[in-house]
Structure 1
Amino acid sequence: MRGLGSTIVLVVIGLAVVAGALWALPTYNVYRKQMAGRAAYEEAVQNRRIRVLEAQAALDAARLTAQAEVERARGTNEANRIMAESLGGPENYLRWAYIDMLRETADQQDRQIIYIPTEAGMPILEAGRRPAQ
C-alpha cells in the first residue's frame, strides 16, 4: 500500500503543479505585457521630454546668437562712425577703406587689374591694355 499511496501523492502533487502552471502562465503573460506597455509608455514620455529640451536649447542658442550678432553690428557701427569722424567724413572713410583694401591684397598673385577712381569718380577701365604676345 505504501507504494500506491506515495504514487497517488506524487500524482496529486504533479496535477497541482500542472494546474498551478496552467493558471500562472496566462496571468504572468498578462503581467509581462502590462509591464512592457508601461515601459514603452515611459520611454515615449522620456523621448518627448528629450525632444522638448533639445528644441528649447536650440531656441535659446538661436536667441543668444541673434543677440551676439546685434551687439557685433552695434560695435561695428560705432567703430565705423568713429573712424569716419576721425577721417573727416564718410567720403574720406570710404577712400581710406579702398586704399586699405589695396594694401591688404597687394601680395596676392592672381590680382592683375586695378581700377583707380579719377577726379570725376569714374575709373579708367583697362586703358592702354595690350593683348598678350
Structure 2
Amino acid sequence: MKLFATSNGYDGKTTYYATGWIAIVLVICCLVAALLVGCPSYNVWQQEMAGKAEFAKAEQNRRIRIEEAKANLEAEKLNAQAEIERAKGAAEAIRIENGSITPTYIQYLWVRQQNNVPSKVIYIPTEANLPILEAK
C-alpha cells in the first residue's frame, strides 16, 4: 500500500515515507496520551510525598522542642543546686561568726569586695554627702 510517494529526481527511484511518518506520529500520540493519563496520578503521588515530608518535619520540630525543654529543666535543676550550696555557705559563715555581724565586720566585707571592682576610684562621703576630691 503506497500512500505517499516522492521522487527524489536524481536517479528516478521512488522513496516511500508514509509508514515511517505514521509510526513516528503514532509513537508521539501514545507518549502524549500516557503523559495525560499519568498526570492526575502523579499529582496525587506528589501531594502524598509532600504531606509525608511535612509530617516528618513537624515530628522533628517536636522532638527538638522536647530536647530543649529537657535541657532547660536540667539547667534549672543545676541552678537550684548551686543556689542551695551558696545558701549553705552563707549559713555556715553566719554560724561561724556566732550570728553577730558587727559594723567592723561589715567594713571588712566592703574592703574585701573592693578587690573585685574594676574601677579603683573610691568615693568616701563626708558630712555633707559630698565626695572628697583631693586628699592631702
Do these two structures clear the TM 0.5 threshold for a shared fold by scoring above it? Answer: yes
| Residue of structure 1 in register with 2:120 after alignment | 109
| Residue of structure 1 in register with 2:66 after alignment | 56
Q: Once the two structures are aligned, what percentage of the paired residues are identical?
A: 8
RMSD: 3.4
| Residue of structure 1 in register with 2:127 after alignment | 127
| Aligned counterpart in structure 2 of residue 27 of structure 1, from 5, 12, 37 | 37
Q: Number of paired residues? A: 121
CA distance in 2 between partners of 1:25 and 1:57 (Å): 46
Give the greater-gyration-radius structure (CA): 2
Q: Which amino acid aligns with 1:13?
A: A
Give the C-alpha shift of residue 113 in structure 1.
2.1
Report the structure, 1 or 2, having the larger helix content. Answer: 1
Give the C-alpha shift of residue 87 in structure 1.
1.2
| Residue of structure 2 in register with 1:100 after alignment | 109
CA distance in 1 between partners of 2:30 and 2:51 (Å): 31
Give the C-alpha shift of residue 56 in structure 1.
0.5
CA shift digits 1:52-105 (9 cap, x unpaired): 01210121111111101111111111111111111111x328964652232231
The verdict on how the C-alpha distance between 1:95 and 1:131 changes in structure 2, with shifts beyond 3 A counting, is: closer
The verdict on how the C-alpha distance between 1:93 and 1:49 changes in structure 2, with shifts beyond 3 A counting, is: farther
Gaps of 5+ in 1: 115-125
Gaps of 5+ in 2: 6-15
The verdict on how the C-alpha distance between 1:131 and 1:72 changes in structure 2, with shifts beyond 3 A counting, is: closer
The verdict on how the C-alpha distance between 1:92 and 1:9 changes in structure 2, with shifts beyond 3 A counting, is: same
Superposition misfits of 4+ residues, deviation over 3 angstroms: 1-4, 93-98, 128-133
| Residue of structure 1 in register with 2:84 after alignment | 74
Report the structure, 1 or 2, having the larger strand content. Answer: 2
